[in-house]
Amino acid sequence: MWWSKENLRRVVLRRCTRLERFERLMRFERLMRFGRLMRFGRLMRFERLMHLPRLAHLTAPALATIFRRVLASTVVATLLASCGFALRGSYELPYSTIRVTSAGNSVVAGLIRRDLADSNTKVVPASAQADAALIIIEERRDRQILSLSGAGRVREYELRMKVSYQFADGRGQVIIPTSEILLKRTFAYDDTRVIAKQQEEAMLYQDMERDATGQILRRMIAVKKVP
């Protein structure tokens, strides 16, 4: 077989000094014992692997850890899909048009409009007639001190975000009564790195905004259309 162990050994030892031959041979033997080599399928792909500086020095246990993490990521993605998780543009509602309004400036309302832009439901202006209407009643952010240092300085904050919303059809019949989403994130603070911590705080709030957006859209998809 052209991709047998002996042929692969020749590739590993090709164009090497004596020291390089020994080091590559040791890595090759570890890979063969690990039993993962044949998963790469082709000889040239294996040759490129042996030349990658970030992989060539790894031991069998380290490679096993990498494969386990890849497998875990695949399992998580499968579970998310089975739970109704959807990427942007894949939210499909049983309505041809929808109004998304808010009491004040709402980031979540804007994200929902954006995510529905590529769906089968057209987002119409607030003044237009629509088959359904989503109202973001309240969107509020705050933070509370979680812990202090021995010198009395803040060490941790708890960031909070609350979103209240209601979903109804075009006739005004409530489909989802007023509901509330409360999200929290722990934030380690350091007053010697103010700018960096401000950026980190902003990113955590953005993460909560996306989280709230996804929760609202998934619930809208899950409910049945009122006849």
What CATH code is carried by the domain that includes residue 110? 3.30.160.150
Q: Last residue of a domain, which of 40, 56, 82?
A: 82
Cα 109 to Cα 123, 134, 209: the distances in Å are 11, 9, 10
Q: Which of 29, 57, 39 is nearest to 3 (CA)?
A: 39
Residue 137 within a domain: yes
Same domain, 104 and 202: yes
Residues in the chain: 227
Residue 89 within a domain: no
Same domain, 136 and 181: yes
pLDDT for the residue 126: 82
- Pick out the chain residues at pLDDT < 50: 2, 36-56, 81-89
pLDDT for the residue 100: 94
Q: Is 4 exposed, middle or buried (0-12, 13-18, 19+ CB in 10 A)?
A: exposed
Same domain, 208 and 148: yes
Residue 186 exposure: Cα atoms within 13 Å on the Cβ side: 5
Domain that holds residue 15: 5-82
Same domain, 73 and 109: no
Same domain, 49 and 105: no
**Tally of structural domains, the chain:** 2
pLDDT for the residue 158: 93
pLDDT for the residue 43: 42
Same domain, 111 and 51: no
Same domain, 126 and 197: yes
Same domain, 103 and 140: yes
Same domain, 73 and 27: yes
Q: Last residue of a domain, which of 82, 105, 139?
A: 82
Strands (DSSP E) along the chain, which ranges? 97-102, 122-124, 132-148, 154-169, 174-188
Contact 193, 165 (CB under 8 A): no
Residue 60 within a domain: yes
pLDDT for the residue 52: 45
Q: Last residue of a domain, which of 34, 58, 82?
A: 82
Residue 76 within a domain: yes
Same domain, 103 and 22: no
Same domain, 12 and 112: no
